Chain A
Amino acid sequence: MRSETGFDPTLYERFPTRDERPKEEEEDLRRIWCKPKGWEYLFAVNNNYIGIYYLGTAFLFFLMAGVLGLLMRAQLAAPMLEILPQGTYNQVFTMHGTVMMFLFAVPAVEAAGVLLLPQMLAARDLPFPRLSAYAFWAYAVGGLCFFASIFVGLAPDGGWFMYPPLTSKAYSPGINTDFWLLGIGFIEISAIAGAIEIIVGVLRTRAPGMRLDKMPIFAWAMLVFAVMIVIAFPSIILGTLLLEIERAFNWPFFDATRGGDPLLWQHLFWFFGHPEVYIIFLPAAGMMSMIVATVAGERLVGYRLIVLAMIATGFISFGVWAHHMFTTGMPPMTTGFFSAASMAVSVPAGIQVFSWIATLAIGKPKFNAPGLFVMGSIVIFVTGGLTGVMVAMVPFDWQAHDSYFIVAHLHYVLIGGMVFPLFAAFYYWIPMVSRRALSERLAKWVFGLMFTGMNVAFLPMHLAGLQGMPRRVYTYLPGQGLELPNLVSTVGAFMLGLGVLLFVVDLARNFRLAPGEGNAGNVYGGGTLEWLPSELYSTRSIPVVTSREPLWDDPALADEVEKGRYFLPRSATGLRETIVTSPLLAEPQYLQIMPGPSPWPFAAAIFTAGFFLALTVQAYLFAWVSGVLAVISVLRWLWETDRPIEIEGVDIGADIRVPTYVTGPSSHGWWAMIILLVVMGMIFLMALFSLAFLSSNQPGFWRPPPPLGEAISMLMLYAAAIGFALAARSVLRRSPFWSVMALLFSAAASSAALGLDYASWSGSGLDPTASGQGAVAYALLALQACAAAIAMLMALYCAARGVRGLVAQPRNNSIDLTMLFLVYTAAQGATGALVSRLVGVGG
């Protein structure tokens, strides 16, 4: 077989080794990856803890948003009830949707990835444990504060997609909408952080030999999921930024009376919002594929088809956003494109469903708890998929859109496509993290109640929709035939709630957190690596992977792994570490030294939350203090992470030696930076789209931009900035001092160019509050200012490290990554300077 990195695959034949490993190795591992005590639980960064915290918090939001759903159903049980007053109901339905989508669904699947992936890939941890911790705490603190707004009547009330102008200052003057923008801000941060973590984790920390085609399907799902987040979330990040700026500073992005356009928000929102549905569905489908194989006791049929189906879903889901806008008066041909893509996206789903059925057919399916939820999920999801095809048909959607038919459809898709798989996953994987499995006997009741309740609740909503009941109504008039379907729905919703309650009872009785104390084990007989005996350091040694279900194919594997007969049976450096492997064939490349527990990610998260919350309640001084403290905390946590150690090369088992510090394109830091730059690039691209969109839809408000000639000086400065940044990397070998200086020059050149750009726009007399054009033009400058400020901060950080003598190496990751960011900043600035002067130039 050819090699990807020059690693000789015949070396794998040395494993399992035969020699007895010394006892102390295991004790060392235990000591290095030890359990936190007392307060230290807040500072834990290990995925076993963060994963559980994360999943637990997401589940808490599921319960709370579920209670909101039950309140809504109580209010709608009969016409003209007054259980919830109108204003409260409007807040409750907005929070139900928002919390379910943003604070439960996305974090829950992300949490499952954090918890399961290292185990499944036999890595000791995810590559950026402190980032996970930060993402979790920001989400937990921010999410809980956001949720609390409902108790004081300050919760948002514009619906989970917050269409302006209803949500603009004129029609929502309170801070309710700002709470929404704040709550979403947190989930944006944690989603992006998680996506970076998961992409790098899946591609770079797999067990040696786990080629792409041997990767567990869940890892594929999480990979596609994370890439989709990177492409989709920037759109909502930009959207929420613009809406908040419009509300705070009166820049009319979405105000049609001043050359903005409410439809711009809809495009930005749904370009994120529809992929979001698949972002939620794909990881759940990945779990289904894993569980189905175990339930059937057979290998998954059509592995390659499923992988392709998931990738195809990822692509096509970016071509369906405007099917939420079929009734906005979009030209018929354009609706046709979105209709076609919306239908095409159901094909990969069909492939997955029939793969699961085929797998069940070749095996001997067991009707255990995960099995029941898997089967229930198939039934519910297919029903939702079929109504999905219906509403993808434009003329039918003209009738169904924004009616209860849609409410029914989306709940079938999301409950069948995400909630039921998640419950299957709870039953299936809880024995991995708990000392006791959940009750199989109770599970039958939980499943029965949830499945029946779900159908009783949502099936009648199809009818209510066809009868003409619009969604988001706090009540309805009698005499329209809506009484019966609504009453039935309410009964069903409470059955569903009862099922969930029973599950919570089961959790309380049986869930006992295991890390480091022995778990319930492989009760369902799964074949993938997460079922190897593991402790806080994951497995004792990291196996060589030769098949997709190593535990089924090599019954001795667990024992050999436990005896330390594979890779990394000890801590080679006395620190937390894992093996970084190559992206395609997973050949060992180097040993990553991982950061351990630290209070700084926690502090950074608290201050980040403080910053956003204080902004929302307009306590500006407190906000800025928090913001500065958050930045300081982040820098402090980073300070310890980029340190080459004395030992340059180590034996990771069977005399295979790898380096402990790598720089350049094969380092995991480089990969993470590239992903971050893609995120920033997408935000910027969406801002350019906004400019073009407004110029084409509101030409009457457009005036000639400043002349292109004024951009020449900026372009020259940006070119210089790129030159300096690249030079910083090449002179590092000779002089750390000049390297750092080059970074500072680069950042300064970018800032100077931005200053010129700003002067040119303000000299043109266009004001950001004057028109949509002005608003977007200055928003582009503001984005550039953010990038330039971060670039400057990074350069100064490198300078500080230089002063402390930490830039002494011939190669240094901090310098490399700063260089990448500076090059990007200059490129973005140059593109913005050019494009903003070209759009609408002909009038």
Chain B
Amino acid sequence: MKSWLIIMGGLILWAVHFFLLYLLAEFGGSGTGVRLVASLCTLVLLGAAAWMFLAVSRETPGDPFARWRRRAAMLALAFGGLGIAFQYLPVLLIDR
């Protein structure tokens, strides 16, 4: 389980972010309050991705599989972080 969480960490964060934003908009509308909460979620999740990235990159893998897992995790976190930022653009650019 832990290995899976490490490998997919970045993508899980992306998914959490996406569904938070969607549910906020679906049930909360697009007012300023919702936008603030959405921005806060984005910051927290980006922070989490960065923190996980640092944590994983400091790991010293003992065997080939752990090495593979570490590289994969770092890639996924990079993808996920970029994805979270990308996903936030509508909050900034659409005013309704």
Can you list 14 A-B contacts with CB-CB less than 8 angstroms, sorted by A residue number? A211-B68, A212-B68, A304-B68, A308-B72, A308-B76, A311-B8, A315-B8, A318-B15, A333-B94, A335-B90, A340-B89, A341-B18, A584-B3, A585-B65
Is B58 positioned at the interface, with any CB of A under 8 Å from its CB? no
Return chain B residues, CB-CB under 8 Å to A329. none
Is A441 positioned at the interface, with any CB of B under 8 Å from its CB? no
Q: Which residues of B contact A (CB under 8 A)?
A: 3, 7-8, 11-12, 14-15, 18-19, 21-22, 25-27, 29-30, 62-66, 68-69, 71-72, 75-76, 79, 83, 86-87, 89-91, 93-94, 96
CB contact list, A103-148 vs B, under 8 A? none
Cβ contact of B29, chosen from A211, A319, A331, A584, cutoff 8 A = A331
Cβ contact of B72, chosen from A307, A339, A344, A693, cutoff 8 A = A307
Known contacts: A304-B71, A332-B94, A333-B91. The answer to whether A316 contacts B83 by CB under 8 A is: yes
Q: A332-B96, A584-B3, A692-B27 are in contact. List 11 more A-B contacts (CB 8 A).
A: A2-B66, A212-B68, A308-B72, A333-B90, A334-B22, A336-B93, A337-B21, A337-B22, A340-B87, A344-B86, A585-B65
Return chain B residues, CB-CB under 8 Å to A399. none
Return chain A residues, CB-CB under 8 Å to B19. 319
Is A312 positioned at the interface, with any CB of B under 8 Å from its CB? yes
Known contacts: A319-B15, A331-B25, A332-B96. The answer to whether A304 contacts B75 by CB under 8 A is: yes
Contact between A319 and B18, CB atoms less than 8 A apart: yes
**CB-CB nearest in chain A for B3:** A584
Return chain B residues, CB-CB under 8 Å to A340. 86-87, 89-90
Return chain A residues, CB-CB under 8 Å to B86. 340, 343-344
Known contacts: A340-B89, A341-B87. The answer to whether A312 contacts B96 by CB under 8 A is: no
Chain B interface main SS type: helix
Minimum Cβ distance to chain A for residue B5 (Å): 12
Minimum Cβ distance to chain B for residue A325 (Å): 12
Minimum Cβ distance to chain A for residue B33 (Å): 13
Known contacts: A213-B64, A333-B96. The answer to whether A696 contacts B27 by CB under 8 A is: yes
Return chain B residues, CB-CB under 8 Å to A211. 64-65, 68
Return chain B residues, CB-CB under 8 Å to A339. 90
**CB-CB nearest in chain A for B96:** A332
Minimum Cβ distance to chain B for residue A695 (Å): 9
**CB-CB nearest in chain B for A345:** B83
Contact between B75 and A308, CB atoms less than 8 A apart: yes
In the bound assembly, the distance between CA atoms of A337 and B94 in angstroms comes to: 10
Q: What are the 7 closest A-B residue pairs judged by CB atoms, nearest first?
A: A336-B90, A213-B68, A1-B63, A315-B11, A333-B30, A319-B18, A334-B25
Return chain A residues, CB-CB under 8 Å to B69. 213
Minimum Cβ distance to chain A for residue B32 (Å): 12
Return chain B residues, CB-CB under 8 Å to A311. 7-8, 11, 76
Contact between A344 and B83, CB atoms less than 8 A apart: yes
Contact between B65 and A212, CB atoms less than 8 A apart: yes
CB contact list, A316-366 vs B, under 8 A? 316, 318-319, 331-337, 339-341, 343-344, 347
In the bound assembly, the distance between CA atoms of A552 and B42 in angstroms comes to: 47
Contact between A304 and B72, CB atoms less than 8 A apart: yes
Known contacts: A304-B75, A318-B15, A344-B83. The answer to whether A336 contacts B63 by CB under 8 A is: no
Minimum Cβ distance to chain B for residue A7 (Å): 14
